[in-house]
Amino acid sequence: MGEKQEDFIRIVHGEKDYGGIGTIKFSTGVIAFIKGTSLSPFKYMLELDIFGENGRIKLYDNGLSYNLYQYSKEINTIGSNYEGLKLIKTKTKDTENERMIEAILDIINCMENGGQPLANAETSIISIKIIEGIKTSSNMY
């Protein structure tokens, strides 16, 4: 389910680049909320909230920070046998690099040490499918 942003549309290389929000349920049952909106060419927001069976990952601060939560019986605020979300880890990047530089550094690391880059053909196709799904859902009503 998604909604394309209509009140501000960025123009990138002469093409409309819509922001938007979306709620996605993956085949595994994981539900994610994505928010990528802007109010001007110089105001940007990116957040990602993933809810899973065992916890939650919240990406915020334009992708520079995240919180990792796990369900725990230690956090019980509503009654017996319920588990609440316990913050397990918080990470904030010390430096803010351009995302393309981050991607190139990751590729170089994989070339030197082996492994698959975080941004590869498979992850790119998945990202495009998610974006197109949000746009399609927005156009349905």
The pLDDT tens digits of the residues spanning 9-31 come to 888 889 888 888 999 888 888 88
pLDDT at position 78: 67
pLDDT at residue 75 above 80? no
Please report which confidence band the pLDDT of residue 56 belongs to, taking 50, 70 and 90 as the band edges.
Answer: very high
The mean per-residue pLDDT over the stretch 72-89 comes to: 81
pLDDT at position 66: 92
pLDDT at position 97: 66
The mean per-residue pLDDT over the stretch 70-74 comes to: 88
pLDDT at position 57: 92
Cβ atoms of residues 84 and 70 within 8 Å: no
Q: How far apart are CA 12 and CA 10, in angstroms?
A: 6
pLDDT at position 77: 66
